[in-house]
Amino acid sequence: MNVASGTLPSSGRDWGPLALGIGVAVIAALFLLYPLANALLLAFVKNGSEPAVSSLTLANFARFFTATSYQRALWNSIWTGVAATLAAAAIALPMAYAVARIAMPLRGLISAMTVVPLISPPFIGAYAWIILLGRNGTITQWLHGLTGWTLPPIYGPPGVILALSLSYFPYVFLIVQGAFAAADPHIEEAARMAGASRARILWTITLPLALPALAASMLIVFIKAIGDFGVPSILGGEMQVLPTLIYYQIHGFFNLNAASAIAAVNVLLTLAAMGALAWLNRTRSFVTVGSTSRAAVRATGAGARIFGNVWCWGVIAAAILPQMVIALASFADKWPGTMLPLSYTLAHYERVWSQLTGPIVNSLILAGAATALCVVFGTITAYASARDRLRVRWALDATIMLPFVLPGLVVGVAYLTAFNSGPLVLTGTAIIIVLAYFTRRVAFIFRSAATTIAQIDPRLEDASTICGASWSATMRRVLVPLAAPAILAGAILVFSTLISEISATVLLYSARWKTISISIYELVLGDLLAEASAIGTITTVMTLLLVLAASRLAGRNMADLYR
């Protein structure tokens, strides 16, 4: 063999890892840490003053004790959050049991259908309920005509709780169904041998075993619910919650200090829930005792099967009803509270096509740029933390997970306060929206990339190095090709959620950079529900196709992507 003619490319020291490490640290400090720290500082500063020791105050927080509007918003956030969580659990628990333990057909389809509410943003569902249950709503009119009885108005707590619980129940369903399916069937068989009835087994064995999963999933729903802006802003009516209060403090008074203080309280609430979740995760030691691959025995009784089918398909009908209604409304010419529209038209789509392509393109650009940023940054940090390359690993872990617990409105406030004045003014630009999206979603990419990279043998990189590859060549030739499919699937999911992001956008958008979500929001507030439905339907279809592509790429079914 003669390989002497081939020589290794000469290079000095390998600066790649160091340069990347510094870059990552700078970005984390500037766009993750600084905005949040700055917002926290401003929460303690008198409104209108520059941050200084003399202007420090607790006045922004004191309003939670003095102003009724603040107290009401806090209380509304908590109780509608709790109510929506309980409602979601009540809907999802029997459904999870049925899919896991009752012999009924199409169980896979049921699981897949539950992903639909997760895919479409809750606020799109929210205005569907106006079409159905509003003053001139289809159901309202139909009930009135039938019984002469008028439904109470949808606006306020009932509407918010209804829309939130039907949007977020799939989290409970997916997690608890997993727990039911994973439980060791031998435990239940042992109880059976001991003479317990089916009902008794359910009550004393099956449910207690799934309890930790149920509690964890309910906390996730609670965190999502108290951070949601779109639903209470559309269906809340007079009712304020913390996110809408932040919005009004900024849009009404541009009081960044008050908004920061409210945001801090909102975060505190989320952190309390996160703390409870972490505590639960530590104590749920008895869930995964099962060592058998045998599936649990499914109930085959007629009663159980009728109940399972009725409940599951009923819930799915209710959950996808908003999407159906919106699709129908987008083609409806006249729909004056009748069961179906009186005539159909494409005019709404024509209007969207002629006037609203701007927002659609904007959303695609902003979401695309933010996703690209998430992928680059999230993958590099995931690599660093999986391979222990950076000394500051724990700090990066903490920084990057932090925005995960932050509602969108809070991120919006942080960006407004950080880049509204000072050396880096970004207000009104596309960059600030991209960065806020990045802050909200980078944790997701980080986690999926970290899981993927952790499964790649580090010896592969050693082998590549020994064969003569520089660090960057190893990344390009070995690590990226191996990790790409999973990371790309994660990126598509992130992209699909960002094209309809509302809660950070609503604080940061400008006339030039209106997005899909802002257009829908404006159309709904202007009572132009048909146009809102057209653009909402386009968004939902787009998102559905993206998620399908992601599940193909990752080789997992859609429901698993969200588990």
> What does the binding site for other proteins look like in residue numbers (CB under 8 A)?
1-11, 13-14, 457, 459-460, 462-470, 473, 477-478, 481-482
- Exposed/middle/buried for residue 181 (C-beta within 10 Å: 0-12, 13-18, 19+): middle
CA angle 536, 329, 360 (to 5 degrees): 20
Q: Least CB distance from residue 482 to other proteins, whole Å? A: 6
3-class secondary structure, 344: strand
Residue number, 390 or 532, with CB nearest to other proteins: 390
Residue number, 11 or 150, with CB nearest to other proteins: 11
Taking the C-alpha atoms of residue 415 and residue 431, their distance in angstroms, rounded to an integer, is 11
Taking the C-alpha atoms of residue 386 and residue 319, their distance in angstroms, rounded to an integer, is 39
Let me know: does 499 contact 364? Beta carbons within 8 Å: yes
Let me know: does 499 contact 543? Beta carbons within 8 Å: yes
Residue number, 1 or 53, with CB nearest to other proteins: 1
Taking the C-alpha atoms of residue 29 and residue 388, their distance in angstroms, rounded to an integer, is 19
**Which of 494, 493, 517 lies closest to 504 in space, CA to CA?**
517
Residue number, 282 or 459, with CB nearest to other proteins: 459
Exposure of 517 in the CB half-sphere (CA atoms within 13 A): 31
Burial 396-405 (b: 16+ CB within 10 A, else e): bbebbebbbb
Sequence-separated (6 or more) residues with CB below 8 Å from residue 493: 444, 546, 547, 550, 561
Q: Least CB distance from residue 486 to other proteins, whole Å? A: 13
Q: Least CB distance from residue 477 to other proteins, whole Å? A: 8
Let me know: does 337 contact 141? Beta carbons within 8 Å: yes
Taking the C-alpha atoms of residue 27 and residue 30, their distance in angstroms, rounded to an integer, is 5
Residue number, 12 or 105, with CB nearest to other proteins: 12
Residue number, 336 or 468, with CB nearest to other proteins: 468
3-class secondary structure, 293: coil
Residue number, 439 or 464, with CB nearest to other proteins: 464
Q: Least CB distance from residue 103 to other proteins, whole Å? A: 37
**Which of 428, 563, 420, 444 lies closest to 498 in space, CA to CA?**
444
Residue number, 272 or 460, with CB nearest to other proteins: 460
Q: Least CB distance from residue 394 to other proteins, whole Å? A: 14
What are the beta bridge partners of residue 45?
Answer: 56
- Strands 343-344 and 332-334 come out as antiparallel
What are the beta bridge partners of residue 56?
Answer: 45
Task: Read off φ and ψ for residue 299, nearest 5 degrees.
Answer: -70, 135
Q: Least CB distance from residue 495 to other proteins, whole Å? A: 24
Residue number, 11 or 283, with CB nearest to other proteins: 11
Q: Least CB distance from residue 13 to other proteins, whole Å? A: 7
Q: Least CB distance from residue 479 to other proteins, whole Å? A: 10
Q: Which H or E run includes 341?
A: none
Let me know: does 342 contact 559? Beta carbons within 8 Å: no
Taking the C-alpha atoms of residue 127 and residue 154, their distance in angstroms, rounded to an integer, is 10
Residue number, 1 or 199, with CB nearest to other proteins: 1
Q: Least CB distance from residue 463 to other proteins, whole Å? A: 4
Q: Least CB distance from residue 401 to other proteins, whole Å? A: 24
Residue number, 13 or 282, with CB nearest to other proteins: 13
Residue number, 244 or 474, with CB nearest to other proteins: 474
Q: Least CB distance from residue 9 to other proteins, whole Å? A: 7
Task: Read off φ and ψ for residue 236, nearest 5 degrees.
Answer: -70, -25
Token readout for 60 is 């922004």
Taking the C-alpha atoms of residue 484 and residue 473, their distance in angstroms, rounded to an integer, is 15
Let me know: does 407 contact 222? Beta carbons within 8 Å: no
Taking the C-alpha atoms of residue 241 and residue 121, their distance in angstroms, rounded to an integer, is 19
What are the beta bridge partners of residue 334?
Answer: 343
Q: Least CB distance from residue 4 to other proteins, whole Å? A: 8
Task: Read off φ and ψ for residue 556, nearest 5 degrees.
Answer: -125, 160
Q: Least CB distance from residue 464 to other proteins, whole Å? A: 7
Residue number, 460 or 545, with CB nearest to other proteins: 460
